[in-house]
Structure 1
C-alpha cells in the first residue's frame, strides 16, 4: 500500500509529526489530517523507518511516536478522504503561518519566490511592476476564476473576454443540475471550489494592498485566459472538456498552459492525448502537476510531451505529499505557501498553508511566461519547428535546477527550479533537441 491511516493515541497529530521528525531527520514527515486524531501517512515514510531502524518492530516505533493504530488504505480511498475533508474538522497547524510570516518579513517577499530566485529573474525584465509581456499569454485550465483582488479587479489583466466554461454534464439523470455561471467563472460549489483562484494567483497575482504584505505571482500581471472544466482537481470525468479547453486556448495564442489537475488511477482517453499532442505540435508548453498523495505520477504529467513538476518544502526536502517518479522533470515549492484564497465567490483573503504540486506547477508556468518573454526575440530564429521551444525550455529548466545537498534525481527530477538561472542560460542549439514521442 502507498498510504496508511494513522490514529493517534490521544496526542495531537502535531506531536506525532514532531516525534517522527526526530527519527527521520532531513525528511518531510507531515501527516495529512482528516480529523483531530486521524491522518493519512505516506507509505514511503514507513519504509524509511524500516530501513533506518531494522531491529525495532515498526508498530513499536510508531507507538513511541504516538500512533495507536495503523490501517492500510488504497490510493483512491485516501484521495477521496482528503479531497472531501472539511477544514472545520482539522487540527490547526500551529506555527506554520507564523513561520511563513517571519520568513517573508526577513526579505520582504514570500519565501517560495525567494527559494526559486524569482526576484532576480524579475530584474532581467525591469522588475515586477514593469514587465512588458509583449504578447505572452498564459492558458489556465482549472475550476475557473473569481473576482479576487489578486487579479487586479475591477481593472483585471485576466483575459475575461476569452475566458470559457466547458463543464461536463452529470451522469446522474436524477441529480438537480447546478447552474454554471459560464465565461470561466467559478460558481463556488464543489469539492475543489476556489482552486482556480488559488493557482491563478500563484501564476499572475499582483496586489500591493494584500493583507500580510504585497502579494505577487511568479509572472505578475501576465495576461491569463481562464477555462473552467471541473469543480474537482481529479479530471477522469472531464477529458473531453480538457480537449475543448486546449483547443480554445491554442486559438487564443497562449504560449504556456497550466494544468494543476490530474487523471487519477484511470485511463487517459484519446481526447486528452490528442490535446497534449496538439499543444506540443503548436509549440505551447504544457506544465502539469505530478500529483498528490499517490506515488505514481498522474496524467497528463506522466506523458512525455508535458513538463512534469513535483513538490518540495521550504527546506528543499521532497514534500511528503508529492507523487514522484522518472517522469518528473524537476521540482518546485509545494508546501506551506501563501496564496490567494476565496470562500464561495466573494469572500477574498490571503492565506498561509497552501499545499500541493498544483502550486509547484503554477510557479513553473509563471517561470515559463517569464522565459518566453525574455527570449521572445530569439525563439523563432533559434527553433524552426514549434516543438523545439518546448524541449528547449525543458532542457534549460532541468539543467539549471538547483541541486540540494540531499536529493533524489530519479524521483523528483534534476533539482529545484531556479528561475533566474533559467532566464540567464543560453538557448540550446536546435540540433541538440529531440522530439518527444506522441502521447
Structure 2
C-alpha cells in the first residue's frame, strides 16, 4: 500500500512514530520508503502483515482506517507492476530519496547503553592499532558483535597485526566504485579498492568499473563497499569502520539499479570472473524478481571453487529475491538495533540469517573527478536495506577466512572438495547466531543474527562430515 501524507517533516515524523508504536516490539522501522510522488510513501508488505496480525485487522478497509488515524490523507493499493517500475527507476529505495521527494527518518540515533559502553571500554586496549571508538551500534553487541571479533584478533599472537584480513578479496558486484577516503583513496589510488582486478560489464565492457553516476542508485557500490571495508578513524561525526576495515574490494560494475533482472548475464559473468581472479567472497547486494539459469550455474561454480557468496533477501517486496532465493549462497534478512526484525526486509524460508539493516551510518558517495576523493559521512544514521546486512555477512566471512587462514582451510578440506569452505562457513554462522526478537521456531528470519565473535569461536569440522547443498536451482534445500 501507499499513503499520501501532509507536506512537511513534522507530519511525516508523526505518522512514522504512530506506525512504529503499532508495530511495537515486533519490528523496527526506522524510515518511510519513498513512493511514486511527493509526500507519497510505501508501507512495506512485512509491516502491513504485522499490522494486520497485531491489531488485529480483518479487512483492507480496517487497515486503511488505521493508517488514516495515524495521519494519512489517503491510502491506495500499490500493485506489483507499479512497484517494480518504480524500483527500476530508482524511485523506491534510493537512499537520498527520488528527485523532488525526501526520506523521512527518526531524528535520534540509537542510544548507547551502559553495557555497550562497558564492553567497548574494557576491550579498547585489545583492539588493533588505530581502532578507536565510539563504534556504531551495528558493530557492537547490539548488532553483529564485530568489535568483540576484532578484540579476538588483537589478543591472539598469530593475528595481532593491525589488519590480518587485508589480503582477503571480496568481489563486489554492484554499481562500481567512486573514490572515498574511507576506502583508502588518496591522490587517485587506493590500497583497499583493487580497480585493476575489477571490470565493468554494463552498459559496456571495459577495464574501469567506475560508477557512471546515472539515474537509479548512483553510489550504491561505494556505500556498500564502505560497509564492508571502510576504515576512517578521523571521519566527520566520529570514527567510521566497515566490518572488515581495509579488506580488499574488487569492484565489478554490472548495473545502475539494485533491481537487476535486465543484467543477470552480467552478474553471472562477474561471478565467473571473480572465481578466475581468486576472490574469496562475492557480495551481491542486488535482487532480481525471476530466476536466471546463468546466475545459478555461476553460483554452482563459485560453490565448487570454495567461494562464499553473500546475497540480499531484498526489501519492500515481501518475497526473497534472486540470487538469494537460490541454494549455495548465504541469504541475508535484516534487523534493527537489539535484534528486532526490520519491517521492510523480505522474510521466509529462503532467509538464512539476519544482519543489521536499519539506521546504519554510511559514507556519502559523490560524483567527483578522478583523484578527488570524497570524505563526507551522512550526518545521521539513516541507511537501510538488506544490502547492509549482506555487507556485514561478507565482512564477517572475511574475518572468518583470516582467522583460520585461506590456505589452511583449503588444505583442510582438500580431499572432499573446496565446496566445504562456503558450506562450513554457513553452517557455523547459523549455529553461532544470536537469537532474534521473534517467536522461537519461526522460519521467516533464518537462524538468527550474525555474531562475528561467536562464529570465530566455533571449532571447524573435519573434512567430509559437512553436507553438500543441492545445486543452486534444484529447488529449496532445507539442509543448505
Task: Please give the TM-score of this superposition, normalised by the length of structure 1.
Answer: 0.89
What secondary structure does 1:67 align onto?
coil
What secondary structure does 1:192 align onto?
coil
Q: Given the alignment, which residue of 105, 109, 113 partners 2:139? A: 113
Shift of 1:276: 0.8
Q: Given the alignment, which residue of 452, 456, 461 partners 1:423? A: 456
Shift of 1:55: 7.2
What secondary structure does 2:338 align onto?
coil
Q: Given the alignment, which residue of 197, 214, 239 partners 1:162? A: 197
In 2, Cα distance between equivalents of 1:228 and 1:360 = 20
Query: Counterpart of 2:434?
Result: 402
Query: Counterpart of 2:102?
Result: 90
**Is 1:225 matched with 2:253?**
no
What secondary structure does 2:438 align onto?
coil
Q: Given the alignment, which residue of 361, 376, 396 partners 1:349? A: 376
Query: Counterpart of 1:48?
Result: 50
**Is 1:299 matched with 2:305?**
no
For the 8 Å contact 1:79–1:293, the answer to whether it is kept is no
- CA-to-aligned-CA distance 1:318-376 (integer Å, 9 cap, x gap): 11111111011100000111111213235542113111000100111000011011111
Structure 1 residues 276 and 99: CA distance shift in structure 2, 3 A: same
Query: Counterpart of 1:39?
Result: 41
In 2, Cα distance between equivalents of 1:395 and 1:131 = 26
Matches within 5 A, 1:121-132: 121-126=149-154, 130-132=162-164
**Is 1:61 matched with 2:96?**
no
Structure 1 residues 420 and 227: CA distance shift in structure 2, 3 A: same
For the 8 Å contact 1:309–1:357, the answer to whether it is kept is yes
What secondary structure does 2:342 align onto?
coil
**Is 1:187 matched with 2:199?**
no
Instruction: For structure 2, list consecutive stretches of 5 or more residues without a partner in the other structure.
Output: 92-96, 121-133, 473-480
Which stretch shifts more, 22-31 or 229-238? 22-31
In 2, Cα distance between equivalents of 1:380 and 1:372 = 10
For the 8 Å contact 1:316–1:404, the answer to whether it is kept is yes
Shift of 1:91: 5.2
Structure 1 residues 88 and 182: CA distance shift in structure 2, 3 A: farther
For the 8 Å contact 1:308–1:327, the answer to whether it is kept is yes
- The structure in which a higher percent of residues are strand is 1
Task: Please give the TM-score of this superposition, normalised by the length of structure 2.
Answer: 0.82
Query: Counterpart of 1:243?
Result: 268
Shift of 1:391: 0.7
In 2, Cα distance between equivalents of 1:42 and 1:277 = 32
Shift of 1:87: 5.9
Query: Counterpart of 2:18?
Result: 19
Q: Given the alignment, which residue of 334, 337, 358 partners 1:311? A: 334
What secondary structure does 2:185 align onto?
coil
In 1, Cα distance between equivalents of 2:248 and 2:22 = 47
Query: Counterpart of 1:438?
Result: 471
In 2, Cα distance between equivalents of 1:54 and 1:143 = 41
Provide the alpha-carbon RMSD of the alignment: 2.5
Shift of 1:194: 0.3
- CA-to-aligned-CA distance 1:205-264 (integer Å, 9 cap, x gap): 11122111121111111112111111111111112211221222112111111011111x
For the 8 Å contact 1:313–1:319, the answer to whether it is kept is yes
- CA-to-aligned-CA distance 1:168-194 (integer Å, 9 cap, x gap): 45xxxxxxxxxx884111122231110
Structure 1 residues 279 and 373: CA distance shift in structure 2, 3 A: same
Structure 1 residues 431 and 25: CA distance shift in structure 2, 3 A: same
Which stretch shifts more, 226-235 or 72-81? 72-81
What secondary structure does 1:140 align onto?
strand
Q: Given the alignment, which residue of 65, 70, 73 partners 2:75? A: 70
Shift of 1:40: 0.4
Structure 1 residues 157 and 13: CA distance shift in structure 2, 3 A: same
Structure 1 residues 92 and 20: CA distance shift in structure 2, 3 A: closer
**Is 1:28 matched with 2:56?**
no
Query: Counterpart of 1:172?
Result: none
In 1, Cα distance between equivalents of 2:222 and 2:15 = 33
Query: Counterpart of 1:145?
Result: 177
Shift of 1:88: 4.9
Q: Given the alignment, which residue of 397, 408, 425 partners 1:368? A: 397
In 2, Cα distance between equivalents of 1:240 and 1:55 = 43
Q: Given the alignment, which residue of 304, 307, 316 partners 1:284? A: 307
In 2, Cα distance between equivalents of 1:134 and 1:355 = 26
In 2, Cα distance between equivalents of 1:151 and 1:365 = 16
- State how many pairs are aligned: 422
In 2, Cα distance between equivalents of 1:151 and 1:103 = 29
